[in-house]
């Protein structure tokens, strides 16, 4: 199996798994940002996970900008948008998939 196929698989997983947990919340409360942040930082362990995801997302954005430009990727905005709308669980594998495709197209993969 090629790495790009594995990354594409994890795009699907990274989209589905977080929304399995998020959908019931939205069903009950709607997209209540105040409540989301209140619950995200309600305990030390949830704060740990929330801050870890925020830092990881910022690192992903830097990686997308630097590595994406280096390999000549088009549509570098897509992983950033994916990380904002779903999370790093989609943004990172999407970036890796796009990078692999770009390297294949340019003869470097």
Ranges of each domain in the chain = 3-105
Compute the CA torsion angle 55, 13, 85, 30 (nearest 10 deg).
-110
pLDDT at position 107, please? 80
pLDDT at position 19, please? 93
* Chain centroid to CA 28: 24
pLDDT at position 108, please? 63
Of the candidates 11, 36, 9, the one whose C-alpha atom is nearest the C-alpha of residue 22 is 36
pLDDT at position 68, please? 96
**How many beta carbons lie within 10 A of that of residue 99, not counting itself?**
23
pLDDT at position 6, please? 97
Task: Give the distance between the most distant pair of CA atoms in the chain.
Answer: 49
User: pLDDT tens, position by position, for the chain (109 residues)?
Assistant: 899 999 999 999 999 999 999 999 999 999 999 999 999 999 999 999 999 999 999 999 999 999 999 999 999 999 999 999 999 999 999 999 999 999 999 886 5
Of the candidates 79, 74, 71, the one whose C-alpha atom is nearest the C-alpha of residue 11 is 79
């Amino acid at each position: 199996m090629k790495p790009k196929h594995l990354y594409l698989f994890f795009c699907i997983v990274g989209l589905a798994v977080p929304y399995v947990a998020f959908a019931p919340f939205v069903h009950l409360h709607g997209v209540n940002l105040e409540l989301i942040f209140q619950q995200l930082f309600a305990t030390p362990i949830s704060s740990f996970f929330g801050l870890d995801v925020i830092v990881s997302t910022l690192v992903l954005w830097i990686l997308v900008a630097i590595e994406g430009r280096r390999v000549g990727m088009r549509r570098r905005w897509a992983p950033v948008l994916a990380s904002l709308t779903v999370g790093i669980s989609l943004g990172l594998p999407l970036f890796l998939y796009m990078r692999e495709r770009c390297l294949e197209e340019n003869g470097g993969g």
